[in-house]
Amino acid sequence: MFSFRTAYRAFCSFHLVAPPRHYLRLAAKMHSKVIIIGSGPAGHTAAIYAARANLSPVMFEGMMAGGVAPGGQLTTTTEVENFPGFPEGITGSELTDKLREQSTRFGTDIITETISRVDLAARPIKVWREDADGDNDAPDTCDALIVATGATAKRLHIAGEDEYWQRGMSACAVCDGAAPIFRNKPLVVIGGGDSACEEATFLTKYASHVYIAVRRDAFRASNIMAKRAANHPKITVLWNTHVAEAKGNGKQLTHVVLQDAKSGEKRDLEVSGLFYAIGHTPNTAFLSGQLDTDETGYLLVKPGSTITKIRGVFAAGDVHDKQYRQAITAAGSGCMAALDAEKYLEELEAEEQEKAAAGKL
């Protein structure tokens, strides 16, 4: 079985091109003051702040980690209109490129590999790269670790989803709902919890009408959220309903196929947008339970900070934020993580100096 690294080297050799500089360094393990795992707005903001503080951060941006390209969920967003500084809007991939460019400008060393496991009890902290070449026993090490691996939106992978994902299908109403393709058009939200009710209500600002497809005969949402959605004049709840298929004209989603959960009967529903609201999965499997999480898997931090239960380990962005989940809030969290890490490293250096001084007495 070939690893991505092996395949990429073969590709570069065949096409007579050299891999980029950061790729050439992949075989060399290293010690760093700060390692950042993840390359979304949280990771890159942490990198920018850490680099400007002369901490020489190393970022493992991941290669299809969680099935998503480097840059995280932002790369799957078409138009970003709510990130400050871009009055005309910017695509998710363009914003990711600008974040990456700014990180490297200040000296962040970005490595396109995925971290597969860590040892947070070790000092220095140890991290292992995902590697099929047999090098897993050689870890990279660091004094401070920032976990910014985000959370992956759950999807049902219905028929037609691959063709119409981000062409009428999304997992973030707040991110994408105001896009022109959804304005004054009928939309459908899949889910039965608070998120589904909240996102459906949000979408009524832009849609001509919103349907909520609920697979059971009742909401799982809180009473107040359920009543708000059910009583909204622009919302229709489709009970006992599965969305079986997404269809379109080859360019955009135009309708979905609904299936009655009891009778199995199918019918078409004309919509221009489908939004999943069935939850997110924090990308924390590689931590193997070494950090505390809540009941849904989000990392727990000290209130008002990014500090986890293990000294020297910090969590930034959607990996611990299940409430806001926005690019701008993730960026702010990344800033906090870098500042928390900088303070920790200063404390660590002071402690080492005290130990050294005590040893000379």
22 three-state secondary structure: helix
The half-sphere exposure of 224 on its side-chain side, counting CA atoms within 13 A, is 0
Rounded to whole angstroms, how far apart are CA atoms 340 and 337? 5
Contact between 75 and 69 under an 8 Å Cβ cutoff? The reply is yes
Contact between 301 and 308 under an 8 Å Cβ cutoff? The reply is yes
Neighbouring CB atoms inside 10 A of 339's CB total 17
**Strand duo 140-147 + 31-37: pairing:** parallel
The dihedrals phi and psi of 213, each to the nearest 5 degrees, come to: -90, 115
Contact between 35 and 60 under an 8 Å Cβ cutoff? The reply is yes
Contact between 172 and 153 under an 8 Å Cβ cutoff? The reply is yes
Distances (CA, A) of 241 to 32, 35, 156, 267: 52, 46, 14, 11
Cα–chain-centroid distance for residue 268? Answer: 32
Q: Which residues are catalytic?
A: 172, 175-176
Neighbouring CB atoms inside 10 A of 159's CB total 12
Distances (CA, A) of 313 to 42, 76, 121, 304, 324: 15, 28, 10, 15, 22
**Strand duo 266-270 + 253-260: pairing:** antiparallel
Contact between 316 and 147 under an 8 Å Cβ cutoff? The reply is yes
Contact between 238 and 211 under an 8 Å Cβ cutoff? The reply is yes
Please report which residue ranges of 18-130 form alpha helices under DSSP H: 21-24, 41-52, 92-105
